[in-house]
Structure 1
Amino acid sequence: MLQISERGIQMPASPIRKLAPLSDRAKANGVKVYHLNIGQPDLPSPQVALDAIRSIDRKTLEYSPSDGFRFFRENLVNYYSKFDIHLAPDEIIVTAGGSEAVLYAFMACLNPGDEIIVPEPAYANYMAFAVSAGAVIKTIPTSIETGFKLPEIEKFEALINPKTKGILICNPNNPTGYVYTADEMEQIRLLVKRHNLYLFSDEVYREFIYSDAPYISACHLKEIEEHVVLIDSVSKRYSECGIRIGCLITKNRKLHDTVMKFCQARLSPPLVGQIAANASLQENGSYMQRNFDEYRCRRDFLIDRLNKIPGVYSPQPEGAFYTLASLPVDDADAFCAWCLSDFRYKNQTIFMAPASGFYVTPGLGKNEVRIAYVLNREDLNNALIVLEKALEAYNER
């Protein structure tokens, strides 16, 4: 009998997409499904990006350089300077989405068996990328009761051993919406410097920070510049998930050249995606401000309504467009599946992501769900009505 690889067996299924067959079946039967499960923005992409795609006049859709078009990287330098991140074009590598950037960072920095420390809950695909690289994720649990703030630095120290090679953070965080404080970032900086670690920092949601606290990038941290690997993507800020454009940023030349080997092996990042992403950099600020204001209003509406549902609790996220909510159920995986397969309210149901898939530690997040507020407020309101009705019906069974 043919065998599947151990790597394939260990690869986790996506908690965001694994219930999709149930959703597809419901929709095929004419049921309205409110998608709260996936961070697919519903806001329009920048018009300049759409126009750039429509006006492509190339006779051939050619390969681009393996690190992306230089004109795009030069324009990205200007973009990052607005956030006090000062780069040269050759410190930016364009990738096929932020996902490829994370994978190549792991492949270039970690040997099989090496360990990285990740606060949990965390973006589920980090675990998949670690499996692909043969690396091991060691988690630092955070809790909904404290709003998912980082635990004491001693918790990190307790995990560090000769196999520890890095720390991975997502700031603002997916799935919690948490934004790391200046003190937390300083503690991480000291830890990275003291133990000579990489700091992988996923910052794709930097434009969506709703508190008055300043945005602190890993690239702002002094004396660890060559330790930092910044991960970015245009998917969320420009509602351009489908063009698959991200980037990996490093001032470490040896690491840059190593990542380039993987980039050369896959030849080039998407041509049309780079054209659209480059055009998006021309937006004058009003586009981002509209999106920011809309997401903040959605957040306020969602959190207020969620916490009025009996037994439901969600802290207020300070960034991104997700929140984790605890529900009055014993098994959120079963509840989310039941909503799609069995429950209907006025021929409507909801699709949420069970939070257990964002944890590595067994048993954590069993009564939590991740909710993406990527629907307009009318649809959010309808979805929350359906959620409340579903919880009543589920607990009366």
Structure 2
Amino acid sequence: QTGKAYEADQVIITCGGTEAMLNALLATINPGDEVILSDPTYAGMIGRVRLVRGVPRLVPWIPINGEWRLDLEALQKAVNKKTRAVFLMNPSMPTGAVMTLAEWQAVADLCHKHDLWLIYNAAMERILFDNRQVIHPAALEGMSERTIIIGSVSKEYRMIGWRVGWLVVPEKLTEAMTTAHIYNVVTPVGISQMGALAALQYGEKGLEQAVHIWQERRDVLNRQLQGLNSIPAAGGWSQLLDVSEWGLTADQASEMLLAKSKIAATPMTNWGGPEAQRYVRLVFSNEPVARLRTVGSRIRNLLSGLGA
């Protein structure tokens, strides 16, 4: 994906992508350093920045022509003397946003200009819809030595719970990253590593089939959400539903959707800043098509009761 060959000592096997995220931050961030993330983004990314006593600096996704686009003006303004890294996931969770080449180039230019690390959560990078192609930021000019790549078998290979991930790091970070890993968890479980190896060796066809199924489920969901304020996922497992026009907070909407409509929709209250708090997340990846076809009526029945 990157067009670059890495040495074996630049690849560190971790207990899932979540350990890899923490190790990356432990090796690069000092207390008080700022880390740029999108708003919203995976709560586990924001939480780990805070665990290492870093300061999250949030840059919003904005809806443009039915797609999520990163606010590049806000990205430029987010940098200051305390900024140490940009921490992004692509496709982004929970929005399902997929970054364009122009957006990645803007991130790369920022990293070069301000001497920043790019911590790239690539756990879903090949879960792309509508014939989108992978754009790997480490393949951009001068970015391989600035990019810390986080991978996992949890998403693309559907092995949540096996807890096998990896870090691919620039050579000058290998010692710090290995130290963080050794004193964090030592090593993943051996039997899990053998399962992950089998998936990596033989699982490519399964990934193609899975992406086809996930895209079909996304399409069914979006037909159900017509007329509601939701931007279709360009990749990943989930997308957001804007509930601000319902007269409810995300927490209230989540509770009501579960209690009255039997829909589990995660409130995005802790998944970012002000931009996140108007949304709930709908995860379509593991829902059968027959159930997804009932989502629209369930939500509209709830809204009719609210008078919304």
Is the contact between residue 335 and residue 394 of structure 1 (CA under 8 Å) also seen in structure 2? Answer: no
Task: Give the CA deviation at 1:355.
Answer: 2.2
Equivalents in 2 of 1:386, 1:243: separation in Å?
A: 34
Task: Give the CA deviation at 1:358.
Answer: 1.7
- The question of 1:319 aligning with 2:232 is answered no
Aligned residue type for 1:148: W
- The question of 1:202 aligning with 2:115 is answered no
Is the contact between residue 157 and residue 203 of structure 2 (CA under 8 Å) also seen in structure 1? Answer: no
Relative to structure 1, the CA distance from residue 213 to residue 240 in structure 2 (aligned partners, 3 Å threshold; closer, same or farther) is closer
- The question of 1:233 aligning with 2:155 is answered no
Task: Give the CA deviation at 1:145.
Answer: 4.9
Relative to structure 1, the CA distance from residue 85 to residue 214 in structure 2 (aligned partners, 3 Å threshold; closer, same or farther) is farther
Q: Matched residue of 2:246: which SS?
A: coil
Relative to structure 1, the CA distance from residue 394 to residue 245 in structure 2 (aligned partners, 3 Å threshold; closer, same or farther) is farther
Aligned residue type for 1:96: C
Equivalents in 2 of 1:211, 1:116: separation in Å?
A: 31
Map Cα deviations across residues 77-103 of structure 1 (whole Å, 9 max, x no partner). xxx6xx745323222111111111111
Is the contact between residue 46 and residue 272 of structure 2 (CA under 8 Å) also seen in structure 1? Answer: no
Corresponding residue for residue 292 of structure 2: 380
- Note the 1:166-315 alignment, pairs <5 A: 166-253=85-172, 255-265=173-183, 266-283=185-202, 285-308=204-227, 312-315=228-231
Q: TM-score of the superposition, structure 2-length normalised?
A: 0.92
Equivalents in 1 of 2:193, 2:92: separation in Å?
A: 26
- The question of 1:150 aligning with 2:79 is answered no
Equivalents in 1 of 2:16, 2:57: separation in Å?
A: 25
Corresponding residue for residue 269 of structure 2: 356
Equivalents in 2 of 1:216, 1:303: separation in Å?
A: 25
Task: Give the CA deviation at 1:143.
Answer: 2.3
Is the contact between residue 218 and residue 230 of structure 1 (CA under 8 Å) also seen in structure 2? Answer: no
Equivalents in 2 of 1:389, 1:86: separation in Å?
A: 55
- The question of 1:369 aligning with 2:280 is answered yes
- The question of 1:390 aligning with 2:302 is answered yes
RMSD: 1.9
Corresponding residue for residue 246 of structure 2: 329
Instruction: Compare CA radii of gyration and give the structure with the larger one.
Output: 1
* Structure 1 runs not aligned, ≥5 long: 1-79
Corresponding residue for residue 104 of structure 1: 23
Is the contact between residue 140 and residue 156 of structure 1 (CA under 8 Å) also seen in structure 2? Answer: yes
Equivalents in 2 of 1:148, 1:359: separation in Å?
A: 15
Equivalents in 2 of 1:101, 1:272: separation in Å?
A: 19
> Which shows bigger deviation, 228-237 or 277-286?
277-286
Runs of 4 or more consecutive aligned structure 1 residues displaced over 6 Å after TM superposition = none
Relative to structure 1, the CA distance from residue 324 to residue 248 in structure 2 (aligned partners, 3 Å threshold; closer, same or farther) is same
Q: TM-score of the superposition, structure 1-length normalised?
A: 0.72
- Of Structure 1 and Structure 2, the greater strand share is in 2
Is the contact between residue 258 and residue 265 of structure 2 (CA under 8 Å) also seen in structure 1? Answer: no
Relative to structure 1, the CA distance from residue 179 to residue 85 in structure 2 (aligned partners, 3 Å threshold; closer, same or farther) is farther
Is the contact between residue 227 and residue 252 of structure 1 (CA under 8 Å) also seen in structure 2? Answer: no
Equivalents in 2 of 1:353, 1:195: separation in Å?
A: 36
Equivalents in 1 of 2:278, 2:18: separation in Å?
A: 28
Task: Give the CA deviation at 1:360.
Answer: 2.2
Is the contact between residue 60 and residue 74 of structure 2 (CA under 8 Å) also seen in structure 1? Answer: no
Is the contact between residue 220 and residue 289 of structure 2 (CA under 8 Å) also seen in structure 1? Answer: yes
Bigger RCO of structures 1 and 2 (CA < 8 A, at least 6 apart): 1
Relative to structure 1, the CA distance from residue 394 to residue 88 in structure 2 (aligned partners, 3 Å threshold; closer, same or farther) is farther
Q: Matched residue of 2:263: which SS?
A: strand
Task: Give the CA deviation at 1:284.
Answer: 5.6
Percent identical among aligned pairs is: 25
Task: Give the CA deviation at 1:313.
Answer: 1.6
Task: Give the CA deviation at 1:228.
Answer: 0.6
